Structure 1
Amino acid sequence: MRPLTTLIGTICLTGLTLGQANALDLAAGKAQVEENCTACHGSEVYTRKERRVTGRQELSSQVQRCQLSLNLNWFEDEVENSAEHLNQTYYHFSE
């Protein structure tokens, strides 16, 4: 029975570690958006009635396109941090 308990404990701890590694850093996302996005075009892009972005995945894709066009060289987690900050602040997509 002890090997099974050890296995279950290891799986639980691994899941916790992976979950922590995948956690989004909203403060970093906010800083990135303020420095690289709203510094140029303000927040009106996110609050207009005719938004181009209609879902959470589209929001990540749009952030990715923007950072590529600006040659920011963000990592995937930086894109996701920024997208989630925008989602929680302006878009409120549930998906």
Structure 2
Amino acid sequence: MYKNIIAATVLVLASSTVIAAGDARNGEKLYNDSMCGTACHGVEKYTAPDKKVKDLKALEAQVRLDDTNLPTNWFDTDIHDVVAYLNEQYYKFPTP
């Protein structure tokens, strides 16, 4: 039983540190259909020299935070798609 708990814990920790590749085209649609689009923030949020998001992990964390504050209720795959779109469009972080 303990082996199963340990294996499950390792799996959760490993999956939380891996940035999954997403579908940027679907991410663009999800993003634009949400209340979090550029009408809400403007592109300054993504292009400002002092932007807070410094890497893909932080970008995913920010998208997850936005998802909890908005009525989007995205699945993990949706979040990865939005991250892929924002990264492709604005951030240009290297992808694994």
Same fold per superposition (TM over 0.5):
yes
Taking structure 2 as the reference length, the TM-score comes to 0.69
Gaps of 5+ in 2: 1-19
Gaps of 5+ in 1: 1-21
CA contact (8 A) 2:67 2:73 kept: yes
| Misfit runs of 4+, over 2 Å | none
Q: In structure 1, what is the equivalent of residue 90 of structure 2? A: 90
Taking structure 1 as the reference length, the TM-score comes to 0.70
Cα displacement (A) at 1:33 = 1.6
Structure number with larger C-alpha Rg? 1
Q: In structure 1, what is the equivalent of residue 57 of structure 2? A: 57
Q: Name whichever structure is richer in helix by fraction.
A: 1
Separation (CA, whole Å) in 2 of partners of 1:75 and 1:49? 30
The Cα RMSD (Å) is: 1.6
Describe how 1:3-82 pairs up with structure 2 within 5 A.
Answer: 24-36=22-34, 37=36, 38-82=38-82
| Matched-pair identity in % | 34
Q: Report the number of matched residues.
A: 74
Q: Which has the higher contact order (CA 8 A, sep 6+)?
A: 2
